[in-house]
Chain A
Amino acid sequence: MCQVEEDYNGLECNQEKIPVSGLNRKCMKCKEGTAVLIIRVSDAFCRSCFKEYFIHKFRAMLGKNRVIFPQEKVLLAVSGGAASCTMLSQVQEGLSRDAPKKLRFMPGIVYIDDGGACGRSEDERQTSISQLKNIFTQTGFPYFIVPLEKVFSLPTSVLVPGTSDPDPSNPCYKQAVDKYLKEKQKLREEEAVCAVAQLNLEDSAYLPEHKLALQRLFSSLKTLSAKQEMLQTLRQHLILHVARENSYSKVMMGESCSRLAVKLLSNIALGRGAALASDTGFSDPRFGDVVIVRPMRDYSSKEITFYNRMFHVPSVFIPGLDTKSHDKASIQRLTESFVTNLQADFPSTVSTIYRTSEKLHTVRPPQSQSTEPEPASKCLLCLCALDTTADKASAFHATLISEQLSQLRLQEGSVDLVAGSSDQCCVEDQTCGTSGCCSSKRTPVQQDLKTLLCYSCRLTVKDMAAVNTLPPYILTEAEKRQRRSQMKVEISEYLLEEDQD
């Protein structure tokens, strides 16, 4: 149907374009200034109207969703790229405005230096860091520059979701705003004190053995797809840790509409269907006390590039794992070129995918309704709800059967034995038992980890040559969860069912 509708649009556009030529067009909004760019099919803007439109969309996105309260501490995750630097400039713009349109939160900046995983030299890393420092210092916000090697000294609390405050609702939001307005004058006097108290934390020192450990970890991942997933996971853990240590309750990501469309499609290909809403929605509450927010969600990368060029927003290019790689190097890379090429032929591809993601939501496991959810119901790496309950007729169950049927043969006629074995596999997967069927051709450590991971993270760990290269906080938390599961099995006959309470 996209093709069919494009025919209609193409037809109408051809007719409309004949009377009005592309040159000397007037701004769609003010009808006076000369149009300097076209955002969509026929939305022509002059320079000042484009700026107004761009700035308004950022504040409208925050105002519409009402998740950031006045005086709340918000951590801006900046990677140096165009989208996150634009987000930084929008926050600056919003905070410098006069009331009542002023943004009211307290920002900080975090940058994760992942050069150690991407094979960059020390000089290259320092050059990028100094460029970013110039940008950060000019904003006046406190900033944190953290190397990826720090994951080897993280505590295990990173993997446990914190206690989430009651969800913000309209009455609470309004009360907070009213409260803020009343206390406005008092805060002006305290601002000077706060400014002095703010510290810029730059802890870029790391131990040499951590650098070696990071290289070992990424060399044990056999595919680029797994490397990119692991890098994303570790980066997320680091940002979460920085936010918690410094009492930031919100984290802003600078992901654009185009980036989220690619991410949605590649996550489907990676098997993360259950977590799509968390991965691409406006707010991501899976970590409990820290909520991830994506305010750049409505912008396409084209708009961002135009804005940065016209208004000289500084950014720093930092190569990633997939820079200069060919299209089929990884699933993420392949999806990116697919969506980009399709967008060229069918202009509404990205917005259609984006609107699909708005209609999805994450299934809440029943356990999370209780006050203190068991951490075992969350994935060890990405903290999403586990989607590996292996219902009878499901892709996951079919995968388990395929693995089993292709290995050592069971008696041909014994159907019951096959069914029994597959049931046994699923049951033991959940209880951390060492099953004879599936684990015969894998290292015991990898098998133990498997039961704690969601479907997609299992694929990532499956691509690892050695599981013991994972950072200590992950391995320690895995051991803790396994011991707890064993305890539960041992005392299960004495536990009363939750229904009976």
Chain B
Amino acid sequence: MPVQCSNCEQKRAVLKRPKTGHSLCKDCFFWAFEEEIHQTITSAGLFNRGETVAIGASGGKDSTVLAHVMKLLNERYDYGLKLLLLSVDEGITGYRDDSLETVKRNQQQYELPLKIVSYEELYGWTMDAIVKQVGLKNNCTFCGVFRRQALDRGAMMLNVDKICTGHNADDVAETVLMNVLRGDIARLRRCTAISTSSEGDGAIPRCKPLKYAYEKEIVLYAYFKKLDYFSTECIYSPNAYRGHARAFLKDLESVRPSAIIDVIHSGETLSVKEGVKMPVQGTCSRCGYISSQALCKSCVLLEGLNRGLPKLGIGKHHRLHGKILAQEPLTEQEERKLKAVDF
């Protein structure tokens, strides 16, 4: 017995929504998916008319669907936004080249301007070179820190008002679990916010329109819309700690499908005691970008790479912060501790 669409009750259902369990036909699924994102955008007040918005594009399914839906909703509901694509080239041979090709094709399909910034251009190091120094285990720290700042810097070059990223519900729930496992109370407090605050000088606010969209639904949408996207995993991140939280979240989802939204709801309703100390936002004294320390994380990691001490900046280095700030040489004992260990 064929299943009828639970929305229009006319056509035959082609999928069962992971989020709600309802059976839908193709058109009703498209409409529901797009309407939910529209509701998220309007209820959170993410954009204002006349703003220029950069879409962080990596070629993957999330950013591809985000670009497609943003263009679609911008035309359908007349947000009045100017959209463009912003990509970061990490310099990973055999992986980022191909994904950037996908972004360039998206640029033509969606007729959006594209800007690519690269690690080599901004920092003088590619991820390939970084991995040679650091090894496979901790390179995700460098990539994450550099990419975040690269996105900010690229957005400043383009003079945009907002950045939107393709973080979906699974990503946000994963981040909540990660921050609990790491005991990071500062991030736990703000990791479920749908947009960052626009306080502070020189910080471009970010937002996540796909925050409540399940990853499986994004894949379903891309599949039925026949969107062109790149889906290979990063070759340098097999041992990321995040994998534990991700595997746990997938298991939770199989036990109870609404667990992903439940985790996000928990993150949103958490509150922290008053006396707990929180970092204060400021700017880096060396590069001038956003930072909660005198020297930002990017500059610390970069200093480590340039000195041939890649473990500088990984782990606890508070005692060395003053020396790094003043660009003084380290003692032999300090250097030996930070040298990369060959196993």
Contacts and interface: CB of A to CB of B under 8 A. Distances in A.
A2 B183 CA distance: 10
Contacts of B8: 409
A54 interface: no
Contact of A338 (B20, B138, B248): B248
B252 interface: yes
Given A363-B271, A406-B6, A406-B20, A331 B276 contact: no
B266 A272 contact: yes
Given A328-B254, A349-B181, A394-B265, A406 B271 contact: no
B43 A359 contact: no
A272 B269 CA distance: 8
Nearest to A441: B6
B182 interface: yes
Contact of A3 (B6, B180, B241): B241
Q: Which of B7, B251, B252 has the most CB of A within 10 A?
A: B252
B22 A407 contact: yes
A401 B266 contact: no
Contacts of B256: 223, 225, 331, 459
Contact of B7 (A1, A3, A355, A406): A406
Nearest to B8: A409
A459 B258 contact: yes
Contacts of B28: 406, 409
23 contacts: A3-B138, A3-B241, A225-B255, A269-B263, A273-B270, A274-B266, A274-B271, A327-B251, A331-B255, A338-B244, A353-B181, A392-B43, A393-B44, A395-B262, A397-B43, A405-B31, A406-B20, A406-B28, A409-B8, A409-B28, A418-B35, A419-B39, A455-B262
A390 B161 CA distance: 29
Interface string A335-370: 100100010000001001101100111110000000
B180 A359 contact: no
Interface string A419-458: 1001000000000000000000000000000000001100
Given A338-B251, A356-B180, A409-B8, A4 B270 contact: no
Contact of A356 (B185, B262, B316): B185
A359 B39 CA distance: 33
Given A270-B262, A402-B20, A393 B181 contact: no
Interface residues of B, number: 65
Contacts of A88: none
Given A334-B251, A401-B39, A356 B259 contact: no
Given A225-B256, A349-B181, A395 B268 contact: yes
A271 interface: yes
B177 interface: yes
Q: Which of B137, B248, B276 has the most CB of A within 10 A?
A: B248
Interface of B: 6-9, 17, 19-20, 22, 24, 28, 31-32, 35-36, 38-40, 42-45, 77, 137-138, 141, 176-177, 180-183, 185, 188, 194, 211-212, 239, 241, 244, 248, 251-252, 254-256, 258-259, 261-273, 276, 314-316, 341
Contacts of B39: 398, 401, 418-419, 422
A342 B244 contact: yes
Given A331-B259, A402-B36, 11 more contacts: A1-B141, A7-B138, A8-B315, A223-B256, A273-B267, A329-B255, A405-B32, A407-B22, A408-B6, A415-B77, A422-B39
Contacts of A268: 176-177, 180, 262-263, 266-267
The 4 A-B pairs with the shortest beta carbon distances in the complex, nearest first, are A273-B266, A393-B44, A271-B262, A398-B212
Contacts of B316: 5
Task: State the main secondary structure of chain A at its contact with B.
Answer: helix
Chain A, interface size category, equals 35 or more
A396 interface: yes
B89 to A, nearest CB: 26
A205 to B, nearest CB: 37
Contacts of B24: 406
A254 B177 CA distance: 26
Nearest to A399: B261
Nearest to B213: A398
A356 B36 contact: no
Contacts of B185: 356, 359
A196 interface: no
B267 A353 contact: no
A482 interface: no
A342 to B, nearest CB: 6
B262 A362 contact: no
B302 to A, nearest CB: 18
A265 interface: yes
A328 B255 contact: yes
B181 A2 contact: yes
Interface in A63-90: none
